[in-house]
Structure 1
Amino acid sequence: MDALLKSLLMPLPLLLLWLLFATILCVRKQPLGLWLLCLAVIALWCGSSSALTERLAAGLELRYPAYQPSGAIDNIIVLGCYHSDYSHLPLSSRMAECSVARLTEGIILWHQHPEARLIVSGHLPGLSGNHTQLAADLAIALGVDERKIVRMTQPTNTQQEAAAAAPLIVDQRNVLVTSAIHMPRAMRWFDYYGAEVTAAPAHFQVRRPAGEHGIAGYLPSPQGIRTLTLTHYEYLALWQQRFKLWWDPENP
């Protein structure tokens, strides 16, 4: 999806447009405006409540349990996420939270299986910094043997990452690391390209059982709207993926 369209389709811009439309109707003294305004406020409250948004995220995040070691590993594939282009920042701060969480999980697994290759990937066309190289640099700084790192510098999205990794991991024991909320979509792409991988989700948004939020969990919060945004984005991307596979299953 185009970056601008992605931004406009996120929950907060949609809710703000809804509020703006309702306000215009209220100014024009249209009865519908007041109803829409009330509904928008309720939607904003619910959409920023962690107790509610985490339940939506759980439908994606809990499909794959945390990885449990079960023998040797040949490849640990860590999917890319995002980084900052500001070079004055330290390496750990240049990598986005999602990138650090994914890479940290991959590095932990590598230290448990130092015989494995650590495959890092991701290219962000709009940024000058090399995302894959930054990931490799951070992994090396945290003790990974540089000779064990494989860099896939060309893929710009999950589908391309799966297509590029598949030929490298044929008939091997592979673990896939990405954000828990992103894992269902990633696993579907790896399965499509015939790559057998075991999920090792990281960067969970849902970190507590639904009944343990308390009253505070139902109050509006930045974390609530953030979880809603990530969940909303993934469901849109899953529908886009399904459409691609339905439209041209041989060459999506």
Structure 2
Amino acid sequence: MYQTALSLGINKSRIFQNPKAMDTGEEAKLLASKLVDFKVALVTSVLHMPRAKDLFNAQGIEVITAATDYHNFAALPWSKQFIPNAQALLVVTQYSHEAIGSIWIDIRRWINPEAL
């Protein structure tokens, strides 16, 4: 994503990354002090966006969502929409990962309202 932003003409001084972050929640915490007073474009996959936005908002960072990695199975011919394929399995796996991740965040916040 960094390279894509550069290729689109975004000045590298305006791009913040944190390679030390192990997950999105940690990334939001580590970047919060740098981003809290700025307009921030959050670039991530469409499936991950709701959870990522929630985690950044919890740190006081208002984001402009810039979702990527859309999947449109309706574009396939009707006869192929119900045939299992590797791409569909990948999307179901990603969706499940996000659903479990959101539940995990809810549980952690229920146990400790200060978490994430």
The 5 Å alignment of 1:37-48 reads none
- Counterpart pick for 2:27 among 156, 161, 170: 161
- What is the Cα-based RMSD across aligned positions, in Å? 2.3
Structure 1 unaligned residues grouped into runs of 5+: 1-99, 108-138
- Counterpart pick for 2:44 among 170, 178, 183: 178
Secondary structure of 1:172's counterpart equals coil
Q: Quick check: 1:202 aligned with 2:68? A: yes
Residues 248, 180 of structure 1: alpha-carbon distance in 2 compared, 3 angstrom cutoff: same
Match in the other structure for 1:223? 87
CA separation in 2, counterparts of 1:146 and 1:191? 24
TM-score, with normalisation over the residues of structure 1?
0.41
Contact kept, 8 Å, 2:73 with 2:81, in 1: the verdict is no
For 1:169, the aligned partner's letter is: L
CA separation in 1, counterparts of 2:43 and 2:97? 19
* TM-fit CA distance, 1:230: 0.9
Q: Quick check: 1:235 aligned with 2:99? A: yes
For 1:237, the aligned partner's letter is: G
CA separation in 2, counterparts of 1:103 and 1:235? 29
For 1:248, the aligned partner's letter is: N
Runs of 4+ in structure 1 off by over 6 angstroms are none
User: How many matched pairs?
Assistant: 115
* TM-fit CA distance, 1:209: 4.3
Q: Answer 1 or 2: higher relative contact order, Cα 8 Å, separation at least 6.
A: 1
Secondary structure of 2:67's counterpart equals strand
TM-score, with normalisation over the residues of structure 2?
0.83
Deviation per CA, 1:16-73: give whole Å up to 9, x if none: xxxxxxxxxxxxxxxxxxxxxxxxxxxxxxxxxxxxxxxxxxxxxxxxxxxxxxxxxx
- Greater C-alpha Rg: 1
* TM-fit CA distance, 1:199: 0.8
CA separation in 1, counterparts of 2:64 and 2:14? 20
Deviation per CA, 1:97-148: give whole Å up to 9, x if none: xxx5x863xx1xxxxxxxxxxxxxxxxxxxxxxxxxxxxxxx4xx3654444
